[in-house]
Structure 1
Amino acid sequence: MNNNMKISPKRFLIIFAVLAAVTAILFFSVFLLAKQKKIFINKWFVNEKNSTIGVDVSSYQANIDMTQLKKQNIQFIYIKATEGSNTQDDRFAENWENAQRAELLSGAYHFFSYDSEGKKQAENFINTVGGDLTGRLLPAVDLEYYGDKEQNPPEREDVVRELKIYLEMIEKEYGVKPLIYTRPDVYEKYLKGEFDEYKKWISSLYTPLSWNYDDDWYIWQYLNKGKLEGYTGGEKYIDLNILNKDKQLEDLRIW
């Protein structure tokens, strides 16, 4: 071989350094865009075909064909039941019944309000969902920011107090500890150190959960712009969730 065709060690190191620098810049750019909520990268980290995937729905999805969802490898569903102390989801009863009929494992969730008493919110959920959840998933409570709450967050002491009241009433009614849905930043502000005994459902939509959350979790909501067949609402997207590979879906079921 012609010696002129060989790459000297020095030139090789230069090429390697340039490639490494370009790769680092690309990775940092993607990371920055993800952190700024400009792009979604979670699907690169999720093997949907070999995972336990679920959805969460509300009246935004309007008519939902549960059987059609099952055909697309959806194995569980959380259905919005209530919000605050006096709001019920218009589609809850229909979705609740249809999920049961389709034998799609289902649970109900409550959207927690920082502006209502925990007691009244628990009463709203119990009166709407009913008293028997045998065979269903754990009841879930959704704790996140809404409106201007991220810019003007409620006091930790107030949130912890009312959420504890809510959770204790739900546990007394159903005999199980509810599942808590939240975001990593909300978890850090209100939940960490106070509700460690509860199973967690964590939303991290723009970056892999492991990048910004290091505690135990059961469900990761990894995408809020999923697209599936089987619903007719004005909202064309649907939330997608994945079960922790080290957990069992049956661990979230009420027996």
Structure 2
Amino acid sequence: MPALPSASARTVLVPVLVPLFALVIALPATATAASAADRPDRHPERDWMGSTIPLHEPVIPDAVPSPTPTASVEGVDVSSHQGNVNWSALWARGVRFAYVKATEGNFYRNPYFTQQYNGSYNVGMIRGAYHFATPDDSSGANQANYFIDRGGGWSKDGKTLPGVLDIEYNPYGSTCYGKSKSAMVAWIRDFLNRYKARTSRDAVIYTTTGWWKQCTGNYSGFGSKNPLWIARYASTPGPLPAGWAYYTFWQYTSSGPVVGDHNKFNGTYTRLKALANG
């Protein structure tokens, strides 16, 4: 049987163990403050709304949406991929709304966010921010907080649209980020609930029907509250995921003028302003 340490040894051990224990307790808090430098395995500058789609779904180059009486408002989405955007040129072409990538996971903020977010606003566009989700990195609530704290919030100024959860094919590995269908639904719900609690708005969900079916089992529970942004590079948006009777936004091409990604809002400009106002 090993001998017990002497009294003097025990008194020496105590001050050594306490700082070590405190360090262990502190680790989870510091782990949430990641940065792109902490994730050399990631390439957030190459991830934007729809960047993964051409590898997984059919794409019709230079798709032109079939004219409809409702989808009349043109918009764009941008990320660091576009750098400093010529917003005046887009405005001259009739673009009236913009979404800007703010964050990815809990480790990246778009370095061009300020120019893109403020620049679109300054030419008169209604604008919003989106978050590129990486559900294998951290919880939905954690990423919602990261997004909101870095430009993804909402204000009732008549020119700010609710934030977007960009949930699409995994650019780093398995299609569904290693999650079961039920676990993916739970992750999305966690993000949406935190976003709603902090901003009072229901976030928009950007996805494709193919990914949604594969990774959530075509879950229908978000359609009554969360607007749908459907991605399909074709002349029509095609079948929608379960739970949504209509789309709110449609990304119809990745090769539009000035910047690649162009979208239609499924309504009039008056309805777009109403969405901004909540």
TM-score by length of 1: 0.74
Corresponding residue to 1:200 among 228, 233, 241 = 228
3-state SS of 1:209 partner: coil
Provide the residue aligned with 2:207 in structure 1. 182
Is 237-246 or 58-67 further displaced after alignment? 237-246
Asked if the contact 1:40/1:207 (under 8 Å) is kept, the reply is no
- Aligned identity (percent) is 26
Provide the residue aligned with 2:253 in structure 1. 223
- Structure 2: gaps of 5 or more residues: 1-55
Provide the residue aligned with 1:233 in structure 2. none
Q: How far is the alpha carbon of 1:71 from its aligned partner?
A: 0.7
Q: How far is the alpha carbon of 1:251 from its aligned partner?
A: 3.5
Compared CA separation, residues 88 and 67, structure 1 to 2 (3 A): same
Provide the residue aligned with 1:137 in structure 2. 161
Q: How far is the alpha carbon of 1:157 from its aligned partner?
A: 1.5
Q: Is 1:85 matched with 2:106?
A: yes
Cα deviation 1:47-72 (Å, max 9, x = unaligned): 79x82110000011111122221111
Question: What is the aligned-residue RMSD (CA, Å)?
Answer: 2.6
Q: Distance in 2 between matches of 1:153 and 1:79?
A: 27
3-state SS of 1:60 partner: helix
Cα deviation 1:25-68 (Å, max 9, x = unaligned): xxxxxxxxxx97364373162479x8211000001111112222
* Paired residues, number: 211
Q: Distance in 1 between matches of 2:89 and 2:164?
A: 24
* Superposed counterparts of 1:1-255, under 5 Å: 37=58, 39-40=60-61, 42-43=63-64, 45-46=66-67, 51-115=72-136, 116-129=138-151, 131-134=153-156, 135=158, 136-147=160-171, 148-150=173-175, 154-189=179-214, 190=216, 192-197=219-224, 198-206=226-234, 208-210=236-238, 212-213=239-240, 215-228=245-258, 237-245=259-267, 248-255=271-278
Q: Distance in 2 between matches of 1:173 and 1:75?
A: 27
Q: How far is the alpha carbon of 1:140 from its aligned partner?
A: 0.8
Cα deviation 1:78-127 (Å, max 9, x = unaligned): 00001111211111122112222222110000011121211210111111
Q: Distance in 2 between matches of 1:239 and 1:53?
A: 11
Q: How far is the alpha carbon of 1:243 from its aligned partner?
A: 1.4
Q: How far is the alpha carbon of 1:132 from its aligned partner?
A: 4.8
Runs of 4+ in 1 over 4 A off after TM superposition: none
Asked if the contact 1:160/1:194 (under 8 Å) is kept, the reply is no
Q: Distance in 1 between matches of 2:190 and 2:93?
A: 38
TM-score by length of 2: 0.68
Q: Distance in 1 between matches of 2:253 and 2:94?
A: 16
- Structure 1: gaps of 5 or more residues: 1-34, 229-236
Q: How far is the alpha carbon of 1:192 from its aligned partner?
A: 2.8
Q: How far is the alpha carbon of 1:143 from its aligned partner?
A: 0.8
Which residue identity lines up with residue 252 of structure 1 in the other structure?
A: L
3-state SS of 1:173 partner: helix
